[in-house]
Amino acid sequence: MQIRNRHILGWLEAIPLTVVLVCFLVAPIVMIVIVSFWGATEFSIYPAFQFDNYAYLFGSEVVLRVFLATFKYALISWAFTLAIGFTVAYFLAFHIRSQSMQIALFLLCTIPFWTSNIIRMISWIPFLGRNGIANQTLISWGVIHEPLEWLLYSDFSVILAFVHLYTLFMVVPIFNTMMRIDKSLLEAARDNGASGFQTLRHVILPLTKPGIMIGTIFVVTLVMGDFITVRFMSGSQRANVGRLISNDIGLLQYPSAAATAVVLLCTVLIVIAILLRFVNIRKEL
């Protein structure tokens, strides 16, 4: 009786979340899978069961290139966010001694997360533009004579924006795991003659792995699913899978958009499944 009671109460409390997720997550995914087999005319879509959309996806070299570009963005952004995020978290966790200072600096790192991503993207324009701050400074220093054209509307600016927007997603989980490392382990390493770097490499890094994995999941999925950063920061000159989908939507080609979305979703889920083998999220919070 006791046990049944516990389950029933748990179910009752879980109903609201379940309802929201079923209506706005599961149902949309099911709908997308269904529509991905439909056909489309120029103005409307009609129910069907055909594999045309998928045949096109897997036959097109352009699509393959776009998928590769998406992986490229994800990989490069991951490497930068990890390097920067790890360094920042390490500094906060092990070099700041007073706890209130730690909290203050940590908050300083997280505040941009609660402001608008679009504004944060727009704010790079005066920096990177042809007559922007970066070019003006470099010219006045005599480093270059002509303004650099590749600063804005290029792969460079896209990745810069990704790193700018998402490094936070690395800092927070890594900092969280680092704070839970027992300080006596570090002392033990030092007492045994480990140098600072050796402690970092053989004690801190392995213990921080779960945080790194959680950050990686965030960054990789955010970058792979993005369509707005690539569009805005490349001035519509670069493409990733998300933009492929949003372009199709703009042309009312919903079935084709849905098929691409299904393939993207599968790709992302496979990547996450691989990453999840390394970490138990619920234990790490």
Q: Using CB under 8 A, which residues numbered 19 to 58 contact other proteins? A: 20-21, 23-29, 31-32, 35
Query: Taking the CA of residue 57 as centre, how many other CA atoms within 13 Å lie in the half-sphere pointing to its CB?
Result: 21
Q: Which parts of 258-277 interact with other proteins (CB under 8 A)? A: 258, 261, 264-265, 268-269, 272
96-105's contacts with Cβ under 8 Å and 24+ in sequence apart are: none
The CA distance from 188 to 184, in Å, is 6
The CA distance from 23 to 29, in Å, is 10
Backbone phi and psi for residue 85, each to the nearest 5 degrees, phi listed first: -60, -45
Q: How many residues bind other proteins (CB under 8 A)?
A: 83
Q: Among residues 114 and 141, whose Cβ is nearest to other proteins?
A: 114
Binding test (CB under 8 A) with other proteins, winner from 67, 78, 159, 164: 164
Beta carbons within 8 Å of 213's beta carbon, 6+ residues apart: 275, 276, 278, 279
The CA distance from 16 to 278, in Å, is 31
The nearest distance, CB 104 to other proteins, in angstroms, is 11
| Residue closest to 161 by CA, chosen among 225, 221, 228, 210 | 228
Q: Which parts of 84-143 interact with other proteins (CB under 8 A)? A: 84, 87-88, 90-92, 95, 97, 105, 107-109, 111-112, 114-120, 122-127, 129, 131-133, 136
The nearest distance, CB 119 to other proteins, in angstroms, is 4
Please give the single-letter amino acid code of residue 213. Answer: M
Q: Among residues 52 and 147, whose Cβ is nearest to other proteins?
A: 147
Q: Which parts of 175-214 interact with other proteins (CB under 8 A)? A: 196
The CA distance from 261 to 246, in Å, is 10
Q: Among residues 111 and 185, whose Cβ is nearest to other proteins?
A: 111
Q: Which parts of 1-20 interact with other proteins (CB under 8 A)? A: 6-7, 9-14, 16-18, 20
The nearest distance, CB 52 to other proteins, in angstroms, is 18
Q: Among residues 164 and 238, whose Cβ is nearest to other proteins?
A: 164
Sign of CA dihedral 85, 239, 156, 229: negative
Q: Which parts of 212-231 interact with other proteins (CB under 8 A)? A: 217-218, 221, 224-228
The nearest distance, CB 59 to other proteins, in angstroms, is 22
Q: Which parts of 235-254 interact with other proteins (CB under 8 A)? A: 242, 245-246, 249, 254
The nearest distance, CB 97 to other proteins, in angstroms, is 8
Beta carbons within 8 Å of 169's beta carbon, 6+ residues apart: 81, 85, 215, 218, 219, 222
Binding test (CB under 8 A) with other proteins, winner from 145, 183, 277, 282: 282
